[in-house]
Structure 1
Amino acid sequence: MSNTSSIITIGREYGSGGRQIGKEIANYFGIKYYDKELLEHAANDSGICKELFEHHDEKPTNSFLYSLVMDTYSFGYSSAGFSDMPMNHKIFLAQFDAIKKLAGEGPCVMVGRCADYALADWKDCFSVFVHADFDWRINRIAAKYNKSPKEARDIITKTDKSRASYYNYYTNKKWGSAKSYNLCIDSSKYGIDNTVKAIIESIKIFDSTKVSR
């Protein structure tokens, strides 16, 4: 049985350990963990091919008005406009719905994919952003995936740029900006294990103050 009533969302710089941290937090609280699993749920619910979700996963969009995307979302998939929408926007909206649906099923950890934005109006949502020193991330990725420092640097730079473009476009906020999250934490200063502990303690405090909010 879960000892938290919160939905925990985790944004993360590439190489900061956000995925591992999310899994350990989910294990501690005994709640579900969603990362790539969000894509599968969104694909099943929307009827869009899962491979398309994987292709567009946290990738920057083509030029298209943000307001039009959200206006179409407010009318749902049955609207005439949805069938004419570019695929990347259909995929974002399907993920948006899947995130809300899964959050409605109970406490869980969700990694990436603008989950903090999708659940911004949920009082039980605790949003975290994990960042880390660039050189620390280079060393971590190089060791983990047997890459040269240059290869690791290029992967990190490309992935962070992609995630930032995706988040900034669809949320109209800034990826990694402290005011967009309940907690921002540097995993290179704390280490992975202590980062997990710090986030868990913050969630416990968040849970304990819900009654007074």
Structure 2
Amino acid sequence: MDNFVITIGREFGSGGMDIARALSEKLNVKYYDKELLAMAAKESGLCEEIFENHDEKPTNSFLYSLVMDTYSVSGYTSAPFLDMPLNHKVFLAQFDTIKNLAEKESCIIVGRCADYALAEHPNCLSVFVHADMDFRINHVMDTFKLSKEKAKDMIQKTDKKRASYYNYYSSKKWGDSRSYNLSLDSSELGIDGCVEMILKYMDIRKRNKG
């Protein structure tokens, strides 16, 4: 498989989306964030609004391992899929969309457990972007025009949701460097520095594989 995929997990306010955009321009490939929701809705036949409501949100269901076992054998049209909780349907639809996308084209995918979905993909580079709290607060204040207190609150709540979602659906831990190929501090490197590091990593890995 010649297609390559870069997955970007990110702390809220760390500039992960900015890095995805810059990589997209440098590599001349598309990046996908919320576009995945519309794609998954179309492919699964579920309403797009449902995906938006469940987007990177945690779940409290304990049925997941059972659901995954039945789904892997039977797919969308089976009784187990039709009977499963809505949040699982949403996750599995996104999971399939991510895998299908990686088969069709080289791309960059932001969030949504894409690194886990593509664990078997031979040319997937998983990246996690983090930054110190002051950097993130300033970034969120500037982006969303919020006060310092509201920006910090938004960061903490969003990170908590992302971590719960990732830790539940994947077999790894959100933000743990061992869960990713590359972990970058955007408050130290800046957006351009992170892009440069990712491109260098890709180049070195390609040489080592060659």
Q: TM-score, normalised by structure 1?
A: 0.94
Structure 2 equivalent of residue 135 of structure 1: 134
**Counterpart mapping for 1:138-177 below 5 A:** 138-177=137-176
Structure 1 equivalent of residue 53 of structure 2: 55
On the 8 A contact 2:3/2:102 being kept in 1, the answer is no
Q: Partner letter of residue 101 of structure 1?
A: N
1:12-64 C-alpha deviation (Å, 9 max, x unpaired)? 00000001101111111111211111111100000000011001000001322
**Counterpart mapping for 1:190-201 below 5 A:** 190-201=189-200
On the 8 A contact 1:5/1:207 being kept in 2, the answer is no
On the 8 A contact 1:126/1:182 being kept in 2, the answer is yes
Question: 1:5, CA displacement in angstroms?
Answer: 4.2
Q: Partner letter of residue 102 of structure 1?
A: L
Partner secondary structure for residue 209 of structure 1: helix
Q: Which consecutive unaligned segments of at least 5 residues does structure 2 have?
A: none
Name the Cα RMSD after superposition: 1.2
- CA distance in 2 between partners of 1:161 and 1:48 (Å): 26
Count of residues in Structure 1 that have an aligned counterpart in Structure 2: 208
Work out whether 1:206 is the aligned partner of 2:205.
Answer: yes
Q: TM-score, normalised by structure 2?
A: 0.95
On the 8 A contact 1:173/1:180 being kept in 2, the answer is yes
Q: Partner letter of residue 176 of structure 2?
A: S
- Sequence identity (%): 60
Q: Partner letter of residue 35 of structure 1?
A: D
On the 8 A contact 1:14/1:160 being kept in 2, the answer is yes
Partner secondary structure for residue 143 of structure 2: helix
Work out whether 1:105 is the aligned partner of 2:90.
Answer: no
On the 8 A contact 2:9/2:110 being kept in 1, the answer is yes
Question: 1:141, CA displacement in angstroms?
Answer: 0.6
